[in-house]
Chains A and B, each alone.
Chain A
């Protein structure tokens, strides 16, 4: 009996180890198809696109002759490309800033023991379930200014009816507004998402913290400024990343709502990329725009991924 125990234990241990080894191999095999797919379709394709951007493929038939950075140079000299970059900057600033501000405001208002909170939350958030195409189609009509001869339509008409006619503008038909009108529709669609994130964050702040600040004589405004906002910083950061990367690749909303517009004042790089590549067959230049977009998004995403994974390991 005395000798049997350790021997049995050892057999069990060896069996466990054998099983563990088999399971480790099995686990690798299970994720292998997905891993290979991502490797090829994400990393391989990014590599190919980058290569195409340095090639001479600017007509229908592929031509992989290496031409250095000439496609990038040509893009840079193209006024339309420069306009799309400027529009993208304006759009991103307005869209990210506007969604954050509106989302935060809604979350703060909803966080005051509101009757019917569920209803309001649902209403503020539902645009997120829509496609940018639907949003674009509807907002194109809402922001259609109408004409002085025939009368106003859409939001302009609504402003007139409310006696706020002086606020009427040409919206996306006005070169000075252009892309701002697209940002208005995008904020409408995404601000509910920010509200939901902030509301979840606000609910996570213990009431004692605010109570303690109140006892110390802080006003409600000061509590938000010095207690709530700093605690919500990770959420602000996360929302900025998500909104920022949506903004940089914005395409469908522009397609459905405005198109590039005369003088390209509603144009964005993703739209220009698609037209260059699949309409004008300038594959190498289109690939160049795609690579530039990827680099901008990576500058945003890679530090974020590293940061949140490190936090996860620490937790």
Chain B
């Protein structure tokens, strides 16, 4: 009897925390589904009486005196897809070399690269802007792609290195006895086994590039190329934008990474644990 009671309390506490974590989503969803007539800051916790997609419409295409997020969502897609694919490919090649081919100085080089994962990017912003200006990529989506690919090298290399380290030595040695060289082992052994590794890295890079704000606001100040995070911040910072449109915009900006998390959470977790160096 006492056992049952403590279990009940335990579940209630867990549910209480779940409510705490879900509060913001509740406000986001409830508010963005309210019609304009119904939106009232002092009734923000009330459920909507009617169902309306007006706020989503305005958040996407804009309203009186403000732009919608649709073009910025497109910008984000055009940035995040190539950047993610290129950095996954680079990470795979680097990770393979660092896990299996210990050329002299490889460990030192790897450690030096890892440090790049933790630096505050403020410490490279000024030369980055100058360099992108000099090569004509400042204020462009390719400029953002280049930036994300380069600063993604440490984490993608780390995840793939730890992943390839789990491939049995015997497999690699058997292929080498069969005459496979460095590229042969990669193509015949590593690449076919890489799918989970690619899933982890692609999800990780997709999430962090989609969510990035610092590079986006520094490199792409021009509204025509702004990713969605910058546009959302402008939308939410504007006094003329209705509150429910802000909430709908935030929900739209969050949706891609949320969906990835909900459907591919397992891989998301693995990237997370790799991000803390332990693999």
Contacts and interface: CB of A to CB of B under 8 A. Distances in A.
A184 to B, nearest CB: 11
Interface in A43-73: 43-46, 48-49, 52
B214 interface: yes
Interface stretch (B134-142, B147-155, B190-198): B147-155
A197 interface: yes
Per DSSP, chain A at the interface is helix
A150 B154 CA distance: 51
Contacts, number: 254
Contacts of A224: none
B52 interface: no
B18 A49 contact: no
- Max chain A C-beta neighbours (<10 A), residue from B42, B118, B182: B118
Contact of A130 (B17, B98, B211, B218): B211
B127 A27 contact: no
Contacts of A144: 41
A106 interface: yes
Given A42-B116, A141-B44, A302-B115, A49 B123 contact: yes
A48 B130 CA distance: 11
Given A112-B10, A255-B233, A305 B120 contact: no
Contacts of B11: 114
A138 interface: yes
A45 B124 CA distance: 5
B166 interface: no
A256 B161 CA distance: 36
Label chain B's interface by main secondary structure.
helix
A75 interface: no
Interface stretch (B60-68, B77-85, B167-175, B270-278): B270-278
Nearest to B105: A28
Q: Most chain-B CB neighbours within 10 Å: which of A42, A48, A242, A291?
A: A42
A242 B276 contact: yes
Contacts of B247: 137-138, 141
Interface string B95-133: 001100101000101011111101111111111100100
A188 B24 CA distance: 10
Interface stretch (A3-11, A167-175, A206-214, A245-253): A245-253
A18 to B, nearest CB: 11
Given A27-B101, A153-B42, A301 B118 contact: yes
B142 to A, nearest CB: 15
B112 to A, nearest CB: 7
Given A294-B119, A294-B123, A131 B253 contact: yes
Contacts of B254: 129-131, 134
B269 interface: yes
B22 interface: yes
> For this complex, into which size category does the number of interface residues on chain B fall?
35 or more
Interface residues of A, number: 98
B262 interface: yes
A123 B265 CA distance: 11
B119 A46 contact: yes
Interface stretch (A33-41, A76-84, A91-99): A33-41
A142 interface: yes
A151 B41 CA distance: 9
Contacts of B257: 129-131
A24 B104 CA distance: 9
Given A44-B127, A106-B17, A138 B120 contact: no
Given A109-B10, A139-B24, A124 B17 contact: yes
A106 B13 CA distance: 10
B24 A308 contact: no
B183 to A, nearest CB: 7
Interface of A: 19, 22-24, 26-28, 30-31, 33-35, 37-38, 41-46, 48-49, 52, 106, 109-110, 112, 114, 119-120, 122-142, 144, 146, 150-154, 157-158, 161, 188, 192-193, 196-197, 200, 238-239, 241-242, 245, 248-249, 251-252, 255-256, 270, 273-274, 277-278, 283, 286-287, 289-291, 293-294, 297, 301-302, 304-305, 308-309
27 contacts: A26-B181, A34-B157, A42-B124, A44-B127, A46-B123, A49-B126, A49-B127, A114-B10, A120-B14, A125-B261, A127-B24, A128-B272, A130-B258, A131-B212, A131-B254, A134-B253, A137-B249, A138-B28, A141-B41, A141-B44, A146-B41, A146-B42, A238-B276, A245-B118, A273-B122, A287-B126, A294-B122
